[in-house]
Amino acid sequence: MARMARALVPVAMAAALLLVATVFMEGAAAATYTVGAPDGLWDMQTDYAQWVKTKTFHPGDKITFTYSAELHDVVEVSRAGYEGCSSANNISASRTGNDVVALTAVGTRYFLCGLTGHCDSGMKIRVDVVVAASAAPGPAAASGPASSSASSSAPLSCIIAGGVVAALHLMQHAVVARPFWW
Ligand SMILES: [Cu+2]
């Protein structure tokens, strides 16, 4: 019994450490978004202005354009090209049907489908890449990401404290159960 309790001490401590590590890794994770998913893809039906509203893009994130290469393509354009649905002075063009774009820096990127009439039908997307929330703590306590991370870290610290208390209890028990330690 005592031996079993002593064996559990490092397990409890490892669990507490793992929780701490998870909290630190959460803020740095880069995300990959499939354009239009889950309700659509890179197609003629999806409202991309609406889709981007549900996302926050940070440097390091990626977006994937998934589509049939027989029906569409992906052209990165300037703001003027985006507004005028012109791919004449494009920045890049791809047509694999699964084009991955790395959002490497803060700024705005513009993409459209270069096939005739598709952009005019709404097949274009504007992606705003903004500074990650964790990199700019500041006094903005009321902002969404800051308050959500604060609320999620509170119960975790309770769990960690609980793990430490449990570990201490186990150590006490282990000591009491071994008579030659007295
Ligand atoms: Cu198209």
Centre of ligand 1 from the C-alpha of residue 109, in Å = 18
Centre of ligand 1 from the C-alpha of residue 73, in Å = 6
Same domain, 125 and 171: no
Question: How high is the pLDDT of residue 61?
Answer: 98
Residue type, 144: G
Query: Which CATH number do you get for residue 65?
Result: 2.60.40.420
Q: What six digits make up the tokens of 71?
A: 């029906």
Centre of ligand 1 from the C-alpha of residue 117, in Å = 8
Read off the pLDDT band of 177 (50, 70, 90). Answer: very low
User: Which H helix or E strand runs over 19?
Assistant: helix 2-26
Same domain, 67 and 103: yes
pLDDT tens per residue across span 79-125: 999 999 999 999 999 999 999 999 999 999 999 999 999 999 999 99
Q: Pick 182 or 119 by higher pLDDT.
A: 119
Centre of ligand 1 from the C-alpha of residue 48, in Å = 13
Q: Are 91 and 48 in contact (CB under 8 A)?
A: no
Quote the CA–CA distance of 173 and 180 in Å, as a whole number. 14
Q: What six digits make up the tokens of 27?
A: 């803020």
Domain of residue 64: give its range: 32-131
Percent of the chain residues topping a pLDDT of 90? 56
Coil, strand or helix at 149: helix
Same domain, 124 and 38: yes
